[in-house]
Every structure is written in C-alpha cells, then in structure tokens.
Structure 1
Amino acid sequence: MSWQSYVDTNLLGTRKITKAAIHGLDGSLWATSKGFSVTPTEAQALIKAFTDASGIRANGLHVGGTKYIALRADDRSVYGKKGSGGVVTVKTKQCVLIGAYEEPIQPGEATKVVEGLADYLIGVGY
C-alpha cells in the first residue's frame, strides 16, 4: 500500500478527516490530500513540538496555513483547535500523521481515526 493510499483510504475515506498529510520525521512530504499543503517550516515546528511544545503553546500551531490553539502536546500527539474545527497530529516511529477536521465532525471522531492509524503503523514498524 502506498502512503497516498493511507491518506485517501484510512484518513479521508472515513469521512471523519477533511484534509490529511503524512510527513517523515525529517519534515519530508510522504503523501497529502488535494489542496492541503503543510509547509516545510510548519512541518519542522510540528515535529519539534513533540519534544518541546513551548513554541506552539506560546504562538499557536500552524498547519496548512491555518493557525490553531494548541490543546494537547506530548511526545506522541499534538492537537489543535480553531473554531468548530481542529487538527490531530500523531507521531509514529518514522512519520507524523496530520488530520484536519471541520464541523459537523466531532473532535473525538477525528482523534480516533488518526490515533488508530498511528497505532497500526507503529505496530508494523513505522
């Protein structure tokens, strides 16, 4: 299965994620949904937040040109909120999954999808 298939099928295909991307831990783009672009600067800031969240706690989390308020940041997951939408990002051994959602999708629905795919990828060595 290609990385694009994970974005299209496992994230967008659930209809609980509206935009998605997968980046390597070096910031490189592995796959993304159409029209969703996480800049190299945004990717690097996000990856840094898994070890030091002070930057996103002070300045917000920027993903795909949207600024989110950081709700959670630890060594596995970083969640952000903007209005009635948000973003769920989860780090695996080799990559970062990014899933954005908008109303009427509930945060818990989006979180379950991204965290579930991360659990699977970690289980198979990614």
Structure 2
Amino acid sequence: MSWQVYVDENLLGTGKVKRAAIIGLQGGVWAASAGYNLSVEEQKAVVSAFNDPVRTQANGIKLAGNKFFTLQADGEHVYGKKGPDGCVLVKTNQAVLVTEYVQPTQAGEATTVVERLADYLKSVNY
C-alpha cells in the first residue's frame, strides 16, 4: 500500500489541506507532502498528544517548527489555530493524520476532509 497516495490525493488533492503527513503510532512518517518535515520530537509529541489531551490543550502543538494554539483536544482529535490558519490531527487505529490548512480554507472544510479519510482508514483497520 502506498501511503503517499492518501496524502497526495485524499488530503492535498481536495484543495482544503495545504500540508499533510501520516505518522505511525509506533513511530515514523509513513508519508508526507513535499517539504513537510516533522522532527522526531514533533512526531513523538503528536502521538502523545492523544494520551494527554489536557496537556495538549494547555501547551499547544508544534508542527514543522510552527506552534499552534490548541482549540480542542481529546483521545482522537486535536484542532489548532495559528492566526487565520490551523491544523487538524486525527488518530486512527495505527496512525495519526497530521494536516494544516491555510486561509481562505475554513476549519470546518479541512476537518471534514481529514475526518472522512480517518473514518475510512479506521474501517479498514488502519
């Protein structure tokens, strides 16, 4: 299975997501958009964000060197903002979809795209 297709077609291809990566819960980047580099520390923080949503809510989330204010966090979702732009992170059974959107895309538009792909991956046990 090529994970890059999910990033390129299902996320970036919608025009609602500007940058994206799929990170395995056990570590490692499965696929990412060109130039979207998450440090090892950022990857670990993304995965652990779902285990401690209160801390994530208090401290925000850092992606590719950019810190996002956390609007909402729980065991499956993290939503963040940085000015007019934002991020949507969704945990599946084996991975985390990490996405960023930029204006004029609205949070709800990006969230719908990311959640739809996450639901599909969960349905096929990923």
Structures share fold, TM-score greater than 0.5: yes
SS in 1 for 2:89: strand
Large movers: runs of 4+ above 4 Å:
none
1:1-126 equivalent positions in 2, closer than 5 A:
1-126=1-126
SS in 1 for 2:125: coil
Using the TM superposition, give the Cα deviation of residue 27 of structure 1 relative to its aligned residue in structure 2, in angstroms: 2.5
Per-residue deviation, residues 40-64 of structure 1 (Å, max 9, x unmatched): 1111111111010233223221011
User: Could you tell me how far apart the structure 2 residues matched to 1:118 and 1:14 are?
Assistant: 15
Structure 2, unaligned runs of 5 or more: none
User: Could you tell me how far apart the structure 2 residues matched to 1:89 and 1:108 are?
Assistant: 13
Using the TM superposition, give the Cα deviation of residue 26 of structure 1 relative to its aligned residue in structure 2, in angstroms: 1.8
The CA RMSD over aligned residues, in Å, is 1.0
Per-residue deviation, residues 86-106 of structure 1 (Å, max 9, x unmatched): 000000000000110000001
Per-residue deviation, residues 18-73 of structure 1 (Å, max 9, x unmatched): 00000000231100000111111111111111010233223221011110001111
Per-residue deviation, residues 2-21 of structure 1 (Å, max 9, x unmatched): 10000000000000000000
User: Could you tell me how far apart the structure 1 residues matched to 2:77 and 2:53 are?
Assistant: 11
Q: Is the 8 A contact 2:57 2:72 kept in 1?
A: no
Q: How many residues align?
A: 126
Structure 1, unaligned runs of 5 or more: none
User: Could you tell me how far apart the structure 1 residues matched to 2:38 and 2:73 are?
Assistant: 18
SS in 2 for 1:105: coil
SS in 1 for 2:30: strand
Identity of aligned residues (%): 53
SS in 2 for 1:36: coil
> What letter is aligned with 1:121?
L
User: Could you tell me how far apart the structure 1 residues matched to 2:81 and 2:27 are?
Assistant: 22
User: Could you tell me how far apart the structure 1 residues matched to 2:93 and 2:31 are?
Assistant: 17
